Amino acid sequence: MGFLAWPLETNRIRRDVTNNTFGTVRRNADGTKRDHQGWDLVATPLTACYAIADGVIRKREDHDAKGHGKLVVLEFLFQGRTLFALYSHLSIASVARGTKVTQGEVIAYTGTSGNANGMTGEDQHLHFEIRNELEAGRGLSGRVDPQTLYGRAPREYAIVESHGQKRLLKSSGAGLKINAQDMRRW
């Protein structure tokens, strides 16, 4: 596929902090850093999640396990590479394993399962990863920075994609400032 859709209609990094982007960005109590394997995108529970590309659902977990909780993994082809998009902390995975889906199709609804249990307000999110292996290892092994595919992390901005139109909204402390600028080139 030539372009990727965004996983949510409104996409913004949780609390606009680097901590919730990809890489060795989180701090332990002693100040050392640890890895975050994807992006945390702010989402009220039961927000629809969209297939970012045409592909096949390779994995679905419905049990509310530790860690990711409920999840789906979409396999897709992008720029000649087979990649996997993981959506986790879901409330509902609405597609079965093996289902072929088309870009923009609703495949799940966000939630607070796994180790997002108990999160409230602005901390509720979709954990979204891009992998180059279905069963990626520990740390950043088998992961791809989503920014390398999307061009930027939606931090201090929200990227809104609806019915094929993309917009960039400047984020202010109180929420989104409605001062939309056409960003169709993304």
When asked if residue 40 is in the footprint of Zn ion (CB under 5 A), the reply is yes
What distance in Å separates the CA atoms of residue 14 and residue 63, rounded to the nearest whole number? 24
Contact 59, 85 (CB under 8 A): no
Alpha helix stretches (DSSP H) within the chain: 146-150
When asked if residue 68 is in the footprint of Zn ion (CB under 5 A), the reply is no
Q: Binding segment for Zn ion among 32-40, 45-53, 63-71, 173-181 (CB under 5 A)?
A: 32-40
Residue 127 vs 155, nearer CB to Zn ion: 127
Closest residue to Zn ion, Cβ-based?
127
Number of residues in contact with Zn ion under rule CB under 5 A = 2
Please, what is the minimum distance in Å from the beta carbon of residue 182 to Zn ion?
30
Please, what is the minimum distance in Å from the beta carbon of residue 90 to Zn ion?
13
Mask of contacts with Zn ion, 98-137, x by CB under 5 A? -----------------------------x----------
Structure tokens at 16: 């606009």
Contact 85, 76 (CB under 8 A): yes
Query: Minimal CA–CA distance to 126: which of 100, 140, 146?
Result: 146
Residue 108's Cβ-side half-sphere holds a number of Cα atoms within 13 Å equal to 37
Please, what is the minimum distance in Å from the beta carbon of residue 54 to Zn ion?
25
Contact 45, 110 (CB under 8 A): yes
When asked if residue 89 is in the footprint of Zn ion (CB under 5 A), the reply is no
Positions in the binding site for Zn ion (CB under 5 A)? 40, 127
